Structure 1
Amino acid sequence: MTVAGRFRLHSRWGRAILLLPFVGVILVFILDRASNNPDVTFEPALTAGPALAAVVSNSLWFPLAVGAVTVGEAFGIAAEDRTLSQSVHTASVLAIILISAIGATSVLLRNRQERALADARLVSEVAQRILLRSIPERIGPVRAAVHYAAAAAHARIGGDLYEVVQTRYGVRAVIGDVRGKGLAAVETAAAILGAFREAAHQEQALDRVASWLADSLGRALHENGDEHEGSEEEFVTLVLIGVRADSVVEIVNCGHPAPLLLRRGAPVRFLDPPANVPPLGVLEPEDVAPPILQLPLQAEDRLLLYTDGVIEARNSWGVFYPLAERVPDCASSDVPSEVLDRIHEDVRRHVGHQLGDDAAMLLLQYAPVPMAGAPVASRSVVHPRVVNDQATPQG
């Protein structure tokens, strides 16, 4: 629905504004009566009545009704001014009738557009529920929250993707960004998400999950190459997260912005990959073998994953949003969803308007449920380590 439509429906003055056309007609009549010049008539100003009626109402009959009242008022003014036989009266009446007809037509067309937009939003919501499913507040030992905003006007989905699943290997999550926008980006995101939901359960090693996604992306881009324009230049940046049962998080990064570690009592820290790995779609699937960064987790540790729509949001001075600097102020809440809401509002304030790119954020908080008699976990500092195919097998 348009902004005007929402105002008409939801404003507490929605009914009062329907009186504005009649107030305008009465005002014209008062001005005409107050005029001391017999050669001056305000009759042509009556055309504002039906024009205003088409703006303040979605009812097809309302501009016609106001037009009928206005025509009657025009004859009354003309009779008082003794201009019934003059061309100004005839022109005014014809103009009122024409504007009333145009107003009714514009209401009809606007209603059709608003219904079409409502249908499109409904389809978008259904597609979002299928493609970007809602994430439960708790998945195993992890509390999760997601915030997503599509850049396309009135859209609910775009080229950013996310998912969190519980597997036999622990909790696994992905966040990614498809190059480009529009339907092609949505199709690519759907292919990646479908592959992740399968590979996360089948592959024990997280780097093998990345290879699986690369293979699925290659098939998605080339099976219908003739229909998918620009597929040769399309790629996907993403981060894979695996939270194991032994309180260790594994991170695989394929050309995506590094996650942030939010640890109580410690400064915000970027979890940069040990080696730069290009996005999926750049290398051949068999060459995709990213290293795995491993990090022991402490209770209440938070991992903030995000897409470049957040950190590349610029204000009027061209300054990028300083995520790492602003996160501590936004992360004071104990509720992950509230943290993401605060970050999003802070980004909006920084930019000063609607974001120009898709922006997704995923917050994972390690909050294992303690078991009776379980020993208290050590809080000693352990540095992250890197695992690859040639290292010792992962536990």
Structure 2
Amino acid sequence: MGVRRSLAELRSEWRTGHLLVLLPLGLIVLISVVDIVISPDIHLGPLLAVAPAITASFAGTRLTALVGVLALVAQILIARFHGGLFTANHLTQIGALALVTAVIVAFCRIRERHGRELTRVRTVSDAVQRVLMRPLPEHAGPLRIATRYLAADDEANVGGDLYAAVRAGPATRLLIGDVRGKGLAAVGDAAALLAAFRELAHRHEDPAQLADALEASYQRHLAEVADAGQDVRENFATALVLDLPDDRPVIRLADCGHPPPLLLTPAETRLLPVHRAGPPLGMGDLAPVDRRTEEFAFPPGSTLLLYTDGVTEARNRDAVFYPLPTRAARLTPAATPCEFLDRLRRDLLGYVGGRLLDDAALVAVGREE
């Protein structure tokens, strides 16, 4: 069974890189022929180490080992043509090539093991994301919704940024938030906040009242975590709580220390002027909280963009923050919220050079005509 498995994996590696493997095989043939036909005082055999080294860049352990064995066979043939196999010079070359091949194969084996571990981590993080960050509905009443999540950690696709949507009667209630921290360390707090929102969104129509209920729930969560021995003195979450009724083209929101939404209409692109922002969730004990619901027009044909500070605090090589309103205005009009977020994601990653230093979440909501 072990031999069959090894042969099957070798065939799989061959199919994956069968064209690229022609390069190291061609080098083995070329180096061997040139070494044999030129002067016996010139030794090109050590160059055969290039063949397994090149193979390791695109193939796995077994194919790399096979190419290394072929290189050793070629070195032995060269030795036979140049004065015998057992001369000190040829034995040294064969030994050195065998040692280099063994090191390269060992490196491939370690790389494959790390690759499998990384795949397992990503599989777990994908499962966590599917459980916590349930996909938002593409249609909710007169609304069209799209989301994008950009994690700062390569190993994880979920972190401290969060969003959720709940249909409550003839309205859609939305939450977007940012838990302090990033990556897997913030997942627990994000999970608690998302679970509370999905339960409480059906009980409170007013966004300010819903935000107060989330504050109480989040405080209970932090108390439980503190009882378990974790330091939660600096744990908090910024959030926006929104209610978008089907029968009225308005945005009703309560701001808990979160960046204001961006409204894109055919006439203009502007940040909503939120005047009554309260403190982040989890900080209600530090000061009196008087959250108020604010209302803004949401005309048909417009797009509402919700985002986390991983977007607005992204910097380019000159340390200049990403100018979201200006850049977003250049990307409209887009046919759908999904298309708009695809354009915005490409523009953001291009601005920062391909990598964000903090998690970023984007939610685009379009109101149909």
TM-score (norm 2): 0.89
Structure 1 residue aligned with 2:262:
260
- Structure 1: gaps of 5 or more residues: 1-8, 369-395
Residue 380 (structure 1) aligns with: none
For residues 247 and 72 of structure 1, what CA distance do their matches in structure 2 show?
A: 77
Aligned pair 1:18/2:2, yes or no? no
Alpha-carbon separation, structure 2, partners of 1:286 and 1:214: 13
User: Contact (CA 8 Å) 1:184, 1:228: kept in 2 or not?
Assistant: no
Contact 1:49 1:66 survives alignment (8 Å): yes
Matches for 1:128-277 after TM superposition, within 5 Å: 128-168=129-169, 170-225=171-226, 229-244=230-245, 245-265=247-267, 267-277=268-278
**Matches of 1:327 and 1:99 in 2, distance apart?**
53
Aligned residues of 2:176 and 2:239 also touching (Cα < 8 A) = yes
C-alpha contact (below 8 Å) 1:210/1:289 kept by paired residues: no
**Residue 211 of structure 1 contacts residue 285 of structure 1 at CA under 8 Å; is this kept in 2?**
no
Partner in structure 2 of residue 4 of structure 1: none
Q: CA RMSD in A?
A: 2.4
Higher mean Cα deviation, 96-105 or 325-334? 96-105
Give the match for residue 101 of structure 2. Answer: 100
Shift of 1:278: 1.8
**1:45-73, CA deviations, whole angstroms, 9 ceiling, x for partnerless residues?**
22223333333322x43233223322221
Paired amino acid for 1:168: G
For 1:77 and 1:299, locate their aligned partners in 2 and report how far apart those are by CA, in whole Å: 78
What is the deviation of 1:13?
8.3
Question: Which blocks of at least 5 consecutive residues in structure 2 are unaligned?
Answer: 1-11
8 A Cα contact 1:169 1:204, kept in partner: no
TM-score (norm 1): 0.83
The one of 21, 34, 53 equivalent to 1:31 is 34
Tell me if 1:44 matches 2:46: yes
* SS of alignment partner, residue 144 of structure 1: strand
Structure 1 residues 352 and 61, CA gap change in structure 2 (3 angstroms): closer
Please tell me the residue identity of whatever aligns with 2:49.
T
For 1:56, the equivalent position in structure 2 comes to 58
1:226 positional shift: 5.9
How far residue 151 of structure 1 moved from its aligned partner, in angstroms, is 0.8
CA distance in 2, matches of 1:150, 1:63: 34
Letter in 2 for 1:82: G
Secondary structure of 1:195's aligned partner: helix
Question: What's 1:278 paired with?
Answer: 279
Deviation of the 1:208 alpha carbon: 1.5
CA contact (8 A) 2:254 2:277 kept: no
Counterparts of 1:325 and 1:49, CA distance in 2: 52
User: Taking structure 1 as reference, are residues 68 and 26 closer, same or farther at Cα in structure 2, changes over 3 Å only?
Assistant: same
CA distance in 2, matches of 1:268, 1:355: 24
Structure 2 distance, partners of 1:123, 1:274, is 41
Q: Between 209-218 and 108-117, report the one with greater CA deviation.
A: 108-117
- Contact in 1 for aligned 2:159/2:185 (Cα 8 Å): no
Distance 1:13 1:125 in 2: 26
How many residues are paired up?
A: 356
Q: Which amino acid aligns with 2:47?
A: A
Deviations 1:302-341 (A, max 9, x none): 2111111111111111111111112122121121110111
Deviation at 1:246, TM superposition (A): 3.3
Contact 1:161 1:189 survives alignment (8 Å)? yes
Deviation by residue 1:265-316 (Cα, 9 ceiling, x = unmatched):
2x21211321342211222299443111112332223211111111111111
The letter for the 1-side match of 2:54 is L
8 A Cα contact 2:75 2:94, kept in partner: yes
Structure 1 distance, partners of 2:106, 2:160, is: 38
Identity of aligned residues (%): 37
Structure 2 Cα separation of the partners of residues 243 and 61 of structure 1? 58
